[in-house]
Amino acid sequence: PTPWGMGAVVVKKLFAYASKADEIGGVGLEELASGGSKMKQRPEDIKAPKLIYLVPSDEIHYRFPSEEHDVRHDFAQIEAGTALYDVVGVGEDPSCYVKKSGQPTDPVAYEDLQAAGCKHSLLGRIVTTSPFLASAWGDRRLFFQHERLKTKGGAWARRACASSGHLPGSSEYRMPSDLVTTCTQECPAGTEPAPEVRCPFAELEEP
């Protein structure tokens, strides 16, 4: 859900110079709901919720203290098979958005969905399959390329760019399946546009 408060106002103002207003504070869900990046699905082939809520499960909601402490000690106590979150989805329903206060695009808080008459469904649960493991300090090449919300096929559309040789391991945009290629809005230094190469989820970029 859209964050509230003075901090949220400042962040929205700052990001307004680099992003569409409708995209600040949100990412798309079509790619998550698809059969994968190689399925060649068009938007009409995919049914995705408009919003998802990650709701802490009762199994861990009240298990740990709220006072300031090292959260890594909490992670160490979570066993394999523990339900962390319920994933709740809602569709294109006007009752799921705030009308009387805030911006019309702000979603209703999860605890108010029932009172607002917003239809919602439990899609699944996020469950641990192993104990939590501590990774090395300063992970390398960790990059999440989020789906854009409303600029597919527009100014922010991704395009393939290629290098004459393998990009270095420190290249955060390098594709894991093709070490000479990136899929970004603009071609990074040392690469050139490669129109013959298709980026993942390219079909979703097409009008």
Give pLDDT tens digits for 135-190.
666 556 666 667 776 666 677 788 899 999 999 988 888 988 889 999 988 899 99
Report the distance separating Cα 186 and Cα 194, nearest Å: 12
Report pLDDT for 43: 83
Report the distance separating Cα 140 and Cα 1, nearest Å: 30
Report pLDDT for 164: 94
With tokens 């790619």, the residue in question is 31
Residue 192's pLDDT band (cuts 50, 70, 90): very high
Give pLDDT tens digits for 80-97.
999 999 999 998 888 888
Residue 102's pLDDT band (cuts 50, 70, 90): low
Residue 100's pLDDT band (cuts 50, 70, 90): low
Residue 48 has which token pair?
């995705």
What is the pTM assigned to this prediction?
Answer: 0.67
Structural domain spans, the chain:
6-127, 159-205
Kindly give the residue spans of alpha helices, DSSP state H, lying in 6-162. Answer: 6-15, 30-33, 58-61, 71-76, 113-116
Range name among 55-69, 118-132, 137-151 with the lowest pLDDT average = 137-151
Report pLDDT for 48: 86
Residue 53 has which token pair?
């809520």
Nearest to 186, CA basis, from 206, 145, 148, 158: 158
Report the distance separating Cα 76 and Cα 150, nearest Å: 39
Residue 197's pLDDT band (cuts 50, 70, 90): very high
**Residue 87 φ/ψ, nearest 5 degrees:** -100, 110
Q: In the predicted model, what is the mean pLDDT of the chain?
A: 83
Residue 7's pLDDT band (cuts 50, 70, 90): confident
Report the distance separating Cα 84 and Cα 128, nearest Å: 7
Report the distance separating Cα 186 and Cα 160, nearest Å: 9
